[in-house]
Amino acid sequence: MEFAAMRGDGGPLDGGLNVRRCLEMTGHGAKLGHKQEAAIIALLSQRNIEEAARAVTISAKTVLRWLKEPGFHAAYMEARRLAYGQSIARLQQASTAAATTLLKIMLDPNAPPSCRLRAADSILDHTIKAIEIEDIEARVSDLERAADKATAGK
């Protein structure tokens, strides 16, 4: 397998994530070597440490030792946060279709009553959560404005 395919360019080891760019932006001191970058990508895309090590042709003990190094561990955690953020963004993109699906099921007279009830309950539950979040955001904004005014008055 070509090494470039393991370095965050959408190849088979990184699941399409731009992990290479993340690794270049970590800013945790010394740059990681090519094997360490490949190991981080493999850790994100393989099922376990042993499979990740095999994918990069190093031992699992080496990966475990690297994970104990602060620079490698920090770069790995940053890459995980990036990958998780990309997953959340994909879910947000799909939320409109999910809401449409729930509404269609809820309103479909041919759908089983249990499915219609579950869709209606899900819609109500998500609506309540959204209102609660909006209320909390408004309260936090009010508190921040009050704190800014108090700080400015000193």
Q: How confident is the model at residue 10 (pLDDT cuts 50, 70, 90)?
A: very low
In the 8-state DSSP scheme, what is residue 1? -
98 in a structural domain: no
Residue 2 DSSP SS3: coil
Q: Tell whether 56 and 115 lie within a shared domain.
A: no
- What is the rounded distance in angstroms from the CA atom of residue 20 to the CA atom of residue 14? 9
Q: Tell whether 62 and 119 lie within a shared domain.
A: no
24 is written with which tokens? 């270049």
Structural domain ending residue among the three candidates 28, 50, 74: 74
Structural domain ending residue among the three candidates 74, 100, 116: 74
Query: 85-125 pLDDT, tens per residue?
Result: 999 999 999 999 999 999 999 999 999 999 999 999 999 99
Residues in the chain, total: 154
Comparing 128 with 20, which gets the higher pLDDT? 128
Residue 10 sits in which domain range?
3-74
With left for phi above 0 and alpha for psi between -120 and 50, is residue 138 left, alpha or beta? Answer: alpha
- What is the rounded distance in angstroms from the CA atom of residue 21 to the CA atom of residue 39? 15
Q: Of the ranges 2-6, 19-23, 57-61, which one carries the lowest mean pLDDT score?
A: 2-6
pLDDT at position 139 is 98
Q: Would the pLDDT of 132 be above 90?
A: yes
Query: 44-85 pLDDT, tens per residue?
Result: 999 999 999 999 999 999 999 999 999 999 999 999 999 999
CA atoms within 13 A on the CB side of 44: 34
Q: How confident is the model over 114-140, as a mean pLDDT?
A: 97
- What is the rounded distance in angstroms from the CA atom of residue 106 to the CA atom of residue 79? 39
pLDDT at position 70 is 95
pLDDT at position 31 is 82
What is the reported pTM?
0.58
What's the domain count of the chain? 2
